[in-house]
Amino acid sequence: MPVFLNTQDAGFEDQFLALLGAKREDSPDVDAVVAEIIADVRARGDAAVIELTARFDRLTLTGETLAFQPGEIAQAVDAVSPTDRAALELAAERIHAYHTRQMPADDQWSDTAGATLGWRWSAVSSAGLYVPGGLASYPSSVLMNAIPAKVAGVGRLAIAVPTPDGVVNPLVLFAAQLAGVDTVYRIGGAQAIAALAYGTESIAPVDKITGPGNAFVAAAKRRVFGKVGIDMIAGPSEILVIADKDNDPDWVALDLLSQAEHDESAQSILVTDDAEFGRAVTRAVQTRLQTLERRAIAGPSWRDYGAVIIVRDLDEAAELSNRIAPEHLELCVRDPDALSEKTIHAGAIFLGKWTPEAIGDYVGGPNHVLPTARSARFSSGLSVMDFLKRTTLSKMTPGALQAIGPSAETLAISESLEAHGLSVRVRLDRLNG
């Protein structure tokens, strides 16, 4: 059973801190294995990737078959039903429209000293997108990673999607085609991250790697950061629902289970100002778990990491939410817009009882690659900004250099950086000579 907490109980703070501190990530032993895999891929290239893919995914590849060929993709896409095709096309359209509005503008101006200043945005040249594979592969993740990259203007897009036992999800390949992906590699795990970061004989290295994955993928992204950029280190999924009593307990139960069914380590939390409603939601969860297809996953998640927290009022609910900083935050209350102004730490906020988190996973428009493990306190979900770089621009006129150059020289001298100061002084001397 999930834990029941009440902010009015004497031991609440200790219990809440224990909930926040619960470790849901996989064993740190993963890192040592990942370090070996990365070293192997760097040393042996294709041979290491092929060997590791055979070991972990039971799939025999060659350098020529690491990537799907155009004919294979076309054949798989032909198998996509009209209904699935239409749903993915709608999702792609909405995701593209939303992310297009995120594009920042270049700017340039002249200041009072006469200097021209500004900035210019440009996309990374290439990006590698990781998509979980096999039977649990997610075409929605392809769209959420690839479309922002294309909108940003990334020149080359490659996807790594593991295909254990050769199982291919046609929807993943159709999503890649829709989003304009150039190459789809049928590899996964830490070896895929290493290959994308360092390159092999058959896999060209990229500048940035994005996308969620298991503990091995997360550890590999952490290790290759610096050689390439990464989006974030994603942990198990999580959802926090703030709900008042004017909700259907079954709706809220399903919202909680929508994340619990992802992973046994996922976390679903209900915060409510009505204790009886909290109990009703718990009963509804238990009822749904009797028939849910993924109950073997959702059940342990709800049992081990689920929580129901009773609060005095919605202001207190917002305070707790900010401390939790959830990946997904649903505000199923009478005035969700007002409450959202008080919930400043969340990866994504879903306003009102007619906005289930699942809409955000597929067709809402905003990105579903979001910060987990309380990292929403300092980071954001995936966006076009993850595929852009800002370059600053500065241009001095002789008059501008005369106006501000002496101060630069003074500061250089104060830091004992002689050449810095002299590089300004020689120009000032020419102007004053």
Cβ pair 283, 249 in contact under 8 A: yes
Catalytic residue among 328, 357, 368, 409: 328
Q: Give the phi and the psi of residue 288 in degrees, each rounded to 5.
A: -65, -35
Q: How many CA atoms lie within 13 A of 317 on its CB side?
A: 28
Percent helix / strand / coil, the chain, rounded to 5: 50, 15, 35
Among 159, 143, 131, 128, which residue's Cα sits nearest to residue 229?
128
How many Cα atoms are found within 13 Å in the side-chain-facing hemisphere of 388? Answer: 22
Annotate 354-387 with b (16+ C-beta within 10 A) or e (fewer).
ebbbbebbbbbebbbbbbbbbbbeeebbbbbbbb
Unique residue bearing structure tokens 């709900």: 243
- C-alpha 384/C-alpha 372 separation (Å) is 19
**Other beta carbons less than 10 A from residue 235's beta carbon:** 23
Helices (H), 22-137: 29-44, 46-57, 70-78, 82-100
What whole-number distance in Å separates Cα of residue 236 and Cα of residue 223? 19
CA–CA distance, 392 with 191 (Å, rounded to integer)? 36
Residue keyed to tokens 């649903």: 330
The catalytic residue among 238, 261, 327, 409 is 327
Tell me if 139 sits within 8 A of 169, measured CB to CB.
yes
Closest CA to 412 of 403, 404, 421: 421
Q: List all residues 6 or more positions away from 279 whose beta carbon is below 8 Å from its beta carbon.
A: 308
Q: Is 318 helix (H, G, I), strand (E, B) or coil?
A: helix
Active site residue 99: no
Task: Note if 328 is an active site residue.
Answer: yes
CB 340 within 8 A of CB 351: yes
Measure the CA–CA gap between 189 and 431, rounded to whole angstroms.
60
Reading the block at residue 160, the tokens are 């790594």
Q: Annotated active-site positions, please?
A: 327-328
